[in-house]
Amino acid sequence: MWRSKIFHFIYFGFRQQPAEPAATHRLIIIGLFFCMLGDGFIAVSFVAGLSAFLIGHLFYLSGFLKSSSISRRRMAAILPMAFYSFIIGRQLIASLLAEGNDTLVVPVIAYILTIALMAISALLTGNIFAAAGSILFVISDSILSWNMFISSIAFSDVFIMTTYYFAQFLIARVSPSIRTRKYMQQPISKRKNNLNWLFFYIVNLYPHKKEARGPKPSSCFLKI
């Protein structure tokens, strides 16, 4: 089941790439692939799954950095993410040490730093799909780690999987919409964003459903 869901996102992201994909687009697709592996590995070994997700985040991070830029508003946007990552990381490390799980401290620290940097780089792109997807990924992993190492959370499975799959879907949507240097060199008349992505996804997954009118095109970039 996990392979099927993530494979749909990889296929969706691949199909939505521009005719001449830049390195950013390829890195995001590779990141989705490693997250698909992490989905399977984590059921067998927590460390193996964590490692696969960490590699996936490194590819996301590399892709987002190629399309990021710094402004005062974007810098202000990343401060809450940095602060949140520090707080949740401190709580997790304290709990791991208290429970005697010393061997997990280094892998968890490495993962927290990587996903925090991934989210920060996504915010710096100014792309709403990258920003929303990365934030949902952080929320999903926060619930998962809190539920595993600190205290149980009611309906945690529902919250974890809902935020996780929405995060991956939004990140897959980043591939055709993110502003690469090549994109910014195009004439303004060609910088169109077709938000029929949701319609495309539903029709391809559920072809038996009645076709509905897609949403109107609009900008996919944060006004920051």
Which pLDDT band holds residue 25 (cuts at 50, 70, 90)?
confident
- Quote the percentage of the chain above a pLDDT of 90: 37
According to DSSP, the residues that pair with 221 across neighbouring strands are 127
Q: What is the residue-averaged pLDDT of the chain?
A: 78
Domain assignment of residue 35, yes or no: yes
Domain assignment of residue 139, yes or no: yes
Q: What is the DSSP string of 73-97?
A: HHHHHHHHHHHHHHHHHHHHHHHHH
Domain assignment of residue 219, yes or no: no
Domain assignment of residue 210, yes or no: no
Which pLDDT tens digit goes with each residue over 121-157?
Answer: 999 988 899 999 999 999 999 999 999 999 999 989 9
pTM, 2 dp = 0.73
Please state the separation of Cα 183 from the chain's center in Å. 21
> What are 150-159's contacts with CB under 8 Å, separation 24+?
150/91, 150/92, 150/95
Residue 211: predicted pLDDT: 47
Residue 70: predicted pLDDT: 82
Which pLDDT band holds residue 6 (cuts at 50, 70, 90)?
low
Which pLDDT band holds residue 206 (cuts at 50, 70, 90)?
very low
Are 203 and 166 in contact by the 8 Å Cβ rule? The answer is: no
Residue 40: predicted pLDDT: 83
- Domain holding 89, by residue range, is 2-179+193-205
Which pLDDT tens digit goes with each residue over 44-59?
Answer: 888 899 999 999 999 9
Domain assignment of residue 221, yes or no: no
Q: State yes or no: pLDDT of 89 exceeds 80.
A: yes
| Domains held by the chain: number | 1
Domain assignment of residue 184, yes or no: no
What count of residues does the chain have?
224
Domain assignment of residue 216, yes or no: no
Residue 71: predicted pLDDT: 81
Domain assignment of residue 42, yes or no: yes
Q: State yes or no: pLDDT of 119 exceeds 90.
A: yes
Which pLDDT tens digit goes with each residue over 149-192?
Answer: 999 999 899 999 899 989 988 888 876 666 554 554 454 444 44
Give me the sign of the Cα torsion angle 90, 96, 98, 102: negative
